[in-house]
Structure 1
């Protein structure tokens, strides 16, 4: 009987988190995990990489970036192209004011570190048309923006709320996961991985 009441409550709590815009606490968000988490190796590693798991460098791509997606413009995206450089994954939703506040700083970091680090937006929790409008309105079209309507990439990195960053080092290991209000501190985190 107890399991029956716990499950609906747990589902309701999860939906509340997903429909809000971040946690809103600020203080806890800034001190989010900076140590490796389960997101550093999503999915089960394959026993031996085959040709499809090989990055453009000819070396096996880290497990974390062995996925494909589609951009908001409908183009195919293979995450293995991110191999060998630090990568910022910015998880956002089109209707989220915190995400909109992060847009300018995220776009600046993408431009400032072009060629040294990857920045990829991962849009979710809405339809592709709204995602395209957000990209146009915020000027974040200078770096890839994935349309993750089904939440596959979000689940892969265990992201449960928008306005989150997942930062991977050049080896695909998660070195930061959390919220950076207004994108503050993002440039310093990327500089520490590229310097």
Structure 2
């Protein structure tokens, strides 16, 4: 348990552990379902990959359904407000979100901190208020995506395939990765 706690609190050690090794997550506003690589049809035009079958709450308190992201590439950025790497790359994430507009959805996952004020201050300080951020103070979404460190990214293709990267990523590195996943 102590080793798992150290991994979860480390700022971007780059160490990734299997999704099943994370400590239990208390109930929260964010819930997640299995991340198995299957997809089910929800409408005639879109399928929802299992990785996008989750619900959460935005920092503004609005309900968020991951299924709304189906059909387009998505970049999930996992950050913590006390992480210096996350703070440094915030402007690059904001620029990437602006550059790719509706072509790629960028979603921030704010976790590993209990302070809502610290999370909101991070968004203001990094200039990332233009993207959707989900409140994951309990770690349910970190666990759903198998993320054990920050800054981390999960790229999800329209078909549900995923790939991960660990930051810090500068503007060029992030753009190169997004281009690779949307080509």
Decide whether the 8 Å contact of 1:124 with 1:151 is kept in 2. Answer: yes
Runs (4+) of structure 1 exceeding 6 A deviation are: none
Determine which of 100, 106, 129 is the counterpart of 2:87.
100
1:21 aligns with 2:11: yes
Q: RMSD over aligned Cα, in angstroms?
A: 2.6
Are 1:159 and 2:152 matched, yes or no?
Answer: no
Determine the structure 2 residue equivalent to 1:4: none
Unaligned runs of 5+ in 2: 21-32
Length-normalised TM-score, structure 1: 0.77
Q: Deviations over 1:53-89 (max 9, x none)?
A: 726x742311110111001111111111111111110
The answer as to 2:173 corresponding to 1:173 is no
Using a 3 Å threshold, how does the CA distance of structure 1 residues 48 and 73 change in structure 2: closer, same or farther?
Answer: closer
Matched residues, number: 168
Taking the aligned partners of 2:71 and 2:125, their CA distance within structure 1 comes to: 31
Higher strand share: 2
SS of residue matched to 1:108? helix
Q: Contact 1:180–1:186 at 8 Å: present in 2 too?
A: no
Measured after TM superposition, the shift of residue 136 of structure 1 is 0.9
TM-score in terms of structure 2 length: 0.81
Whether contact under 8 Å (1:73, 1:132) holds in the other structure is no
State the 1:162 CA deviation: 1.5
Give 1 or 2 for the bigger CA radius of gyration.
1
